[in-house]
Amino acid sequence: MSWLSDFLHQVAPQQGWGAAFVTAGLGAFAGGLVASRAFTKRAAIAELNALSSAQTLCFSICNRLMALKCQHVIGMKERFDRLQASHTEEVERRKQRQQAQPFVFQADFQTLTPLTLPIGTLEKIIFEKTSIRGRALVALVDLVSTIEGLNEAIEARTKLSEEIRNRKDKTAAELAYLYFGIRSPDGHIDERYRTNLDAIVMQTDDCIFFSQVLAGDIVEYANRLRRSHMWRYWLGLAKMKDADWTSAKESGLVPPEDAYKKWLSGFRKPTRWQRFKSLLQP
């Protein structure tokens, strides 16, 4: 702005006080414009950095959940399903032979440790340091509530396992009623243990899905924000890239998108005109 300063110093003395006020006003306007541009640039860079941190946290959370699924949840579900299938086959076989012996099996009472995840930090970054809207915020809210639900289910499994193991005078038949959630001779059904495992499986998948959706939407929003400012300022920040989940999908750790069609159908992608207008917005 040295050229403007030189111009003002040359014009003001020659044109009198009226011109001096005008030139002073022009100088103040130009200075305000420069300050405004600098502030907008700093704000854009700060938001892009916050979005980068948020994506990293999403990746970390998703990896932790996929590790839980790989190391524990899949095995727990497979063992339960095998035992349940064996129990059903054995019961039918004994009915045909008119045998009354109970089904003897080794129950799986494996417990899990509730997850400690940086979800609070992620939530604070998204709500306080970014202006992201739409599906990303819904995914974040659903992720927070699903993680809470998963931890509650994990704690409930521990209590149920202790309750069943410590129950006195339980027979093999009574254990089967409690473990598989089947009707007892007196007509009572206790499905808590079976439905608890189903909840852990489902909520683990939900957490993985919502964290991946949020991560993808963060990348899309960040790159759109970057494009909208690149033609005005030199930001010096590289384009954000999506995480590669190919290996996790091949390993069966990523739930199928078809399972979330109803949730996804609630959001529409912006039209070309809407995307074009977003590029022009400051």
- Residue range(s) defining the domain that contains residue 191: 46-270
Residue 112 is assigned to a structural domain of this protein:
yes
Residue 13 is assigned to a structural domain of this protein:
no
Predicted confidence at residue 235, as pLDDT, reads 53
User: What is the maximal distance between C-alpha atoms in the chain?
Assistant: 118
Number of domains in the chain: 1
On whether the CB atoms of residues 181 and 195 are closer than 8 A, the answer is yes
Residue 21 is assigned to a structural domain of this protein:
no
Higher-confidence residue of 274 and 162: namely 162
pLDDT for residue 39 is more than 80: no
Residue 265 is assigned to a structural domain of this protein:
yes
Predicted confidence at residue 28, as pLDDT, reads 52
Predicted confidence at residue 233, as pLDDT, reads 58
Per-residue model confidence as pLDDT tens digits over 137-195: 999 999 999 999 999 999 999 999 999 988 876 788 888 999 999 988 889 999 999 99
Instruction: Please state the pTM of the whole predicted model.
Output: 0.80
Residue 80 is assigned to a structural domain of this protein:
yes
Would you place residue 33 in the very low, low, confident or very high pLDDT band (cuts 50, 70, 90)? very low
Residue 201 is assigned to a structural domain of this protein:
yes
Mention every residue, 6+ apart, whose C-beta is less than 8 A from residue 240.
51, 52, 55, 218, 219, 222, 223, 226
